[in-house]
Structure formats: structure tokens, C-alpha cells
């Protein structure tokens, strides 16, 4: 999901935009591409965001993860696609 949409969701639910949360969560995209969600898209990372930046940052992280899962492009850590045998 685009960061613009994540920020809109923040504003709608939390009353503020937290672009730094989305930048941090998606930073591995630069190296991993679409598989970047294997890092920082979990509850532990959201707790750390909360400790560093406050409770709204933790909630923003949860919203970020839920929105990404709803986008249909989410794959759980450790999941693999099974290839079809021809």
C-alpha cells in the first residue's frame, strides 16, 4: 500500500499522520523489494515503535500491517509458494 494511503488511515483513526512509522517499516523494500514485509511487519516491531515514539506510533504500525494484509500482497513469514509441477 502506498504511504499516502497509510498516512490517510493514520489521520482517520489516530487523528495525526505518522509518516516516519511507515518509512521505518518499509525501509527494507530498498533491498528486498516486495518481500520486505518479512521484516518489521510484526507485533514485536510495533511494540518497539511504541516504546521509541509513543502509543500512537505502535497503533500506526498495527494499522500499517493490517492495511498491507488487506491489499492482497501480504505473505506470512516463512510461507512459500508451491510451484505447480508440469
CA–CA separation, 84 vs 19, rounded Å? Answer: 40
* Residues sharing a CB contact under 8 Å with residue 1, sequence separation 6 or more, in sequence order: 67, 68, 71
Evaluate whether 65 touches 75 at the Cβ level (below 8 Å). Answer: no
CA–CA separation, 46 vs 22, rounded Å? Answer: 11
Name the residue range of residue 56's domain: 3-70
Mean pLDDT of 43-71: 94
The verdict on residue 46 lying in a domain is yes
The verdict on residue 37 lying in a domain is yes
The verdict on residue 12 lying in a domain is yes
The verdict on residue 77 lying in a domain is no
Give the total number of structural domains in the chain.
1
What pLDDT sits at residue 39? 94
What pLDDT digit, counting tens, does each position of 37-46 carry? 999 999 999 9
Does residue 5 register a pLDDT over 60?
Answer: yes
The verdict on residue 81 lying in a domain is no
Amino acid at each position: 500500500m502506498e504511504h499516502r494511503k497509510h498516512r490517510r488511515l493514520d489521520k482517520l483513526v489516530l487523528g495525526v499522520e505518522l509518516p516516519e512509522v511507515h518509512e521505518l517499516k518499509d525501509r527494507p523494500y530498498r533491498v528486498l523489494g516486495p518481500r520486505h514485509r518479512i521484516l518489521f511487519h510484526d507485533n514485536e516491531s510495533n511494540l518497539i515503535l511504541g516504546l521509541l515514539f509513543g502509543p500512537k506510533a505502535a497503533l500506526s504500525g498495527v494499522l500499517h500491517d493490517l492495511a498491507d494484509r488487506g491489499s492482497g500482497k501480504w505473505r506470512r513469514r516463512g510461507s512459500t509458494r508451491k510451484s505447480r509441477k508440469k
